[in-house]
Structure 1
Amino acid sequence: MTILLLADHDNASLSDQTAKALTAAAKIAKEQASDIHVLVAGKAAKPAAEQAAKLAGVSKVLLAESDELANNLAEPLADLIVSLAASYDTILSAATSVGKNVLPRVAALLDVAQVSEIIEVISSDTFKRPIYAGNAIQTVQASDAKKVITVRTASFASAPEGGSATVEAIPAVSDPGLSTFVGDALSASDRPELTSAKIIIS
């Protein structure tokens, strides 16, 4: 079976969080001898898909584009992933706002337990994750046939470039109409996000 990685992007460019989550996916793939497909869902997102295709270890990039996917709304994006799920036994994403919003819904629709914010891959079904605000590390073995995983990317290095995967356009599923995009309210800061900062002082 194959691994599906949900790309984190702004349509124009791929987030470094995806390259870090790819490192975790590659460790799972090594255990299973699996291919890794990257899903880029958005609108006018071909530049992000082309960047994903250049990452080492990616065998295929799936590009789904529609107005409903432009702003990473959880419902249409989760429905798209679920429509593809039959071909994959592991679905994962970086534990960003998009991944944390979409993958729990995917897990619920697939009726499986999500493994959240892993920091280490022990085997294809066993992972380490922090609990109690990081004061303890829990080892989790997933028994579901399909695994839905979010990755705490600060624990993984970015996958290098050097790949030459194909980009395949796929149809977007119809929007269930459960939510609409109103606007973004983003805080401005000179500091990098905690999940992507190279140096953290506390």
Structure 2
Amino acid sequence: MASEPITPELLRGWPLPDRSGTKDVRGSVLVVGGARATPGAAVLAGLAALRVGAGRLTLAVAESVAGPLAVAVPESGVVGLPEDDNGSVRGPNDALDRRLERADAVVVGPGLDEPVGTRRLVEHLLRGLPRDVPLVLDAFALGVLRDLPDDVRALLGGRSVLTPNLREAQFLLPDAAATGQGDEPDPAEAAAAAAR
């Protein structure tokens, strides 16, 4: 799988949303993340999706923060996900599955903070999403890629965007040869290698 860095030039080549289009035409984005301690990460990802033209937004977050986020981000739908005693998301539920059926793109990872529940979510999304629905893996979701079975990891190909920062790249490729600055792996190459 080849990696393609997202550059200003690439973004300038993308069309702007049609101003006359309705929210239904602009597409629906589902953001899956937001543990009790870190719900703001899911909110930031969702607001970014709206700013770049998404017509509808759904935030799937820990049950305990679903109500407050519905008030804080009234332009979104909000789904509560099961959580453990620490407020970490434990995995998917039927409410998430119903929203997946209507999603045109899915972002998973912002604000997740526990590996077992995150792995359940990522595996569930990869197995359940239609192949034509783009999937963005961010933050903690990147950390579980190495632990996914090969057949599940193979489902990333051709429809996934992986967004590691430098620290996440170091986690994805702990033994990577240095590229660029010192011993730091290139984040785009780390993401591509983790998805293989």
Which structure is richer in relative contact order (CA contacts within 8 A, separation 6 or more)?
Answer: 1
Give the structure with the larger helix fraction: 2
Q: TM-score, normalised by structure 2?
A: 0.46
Give the structure with the larger strand fraction: 1
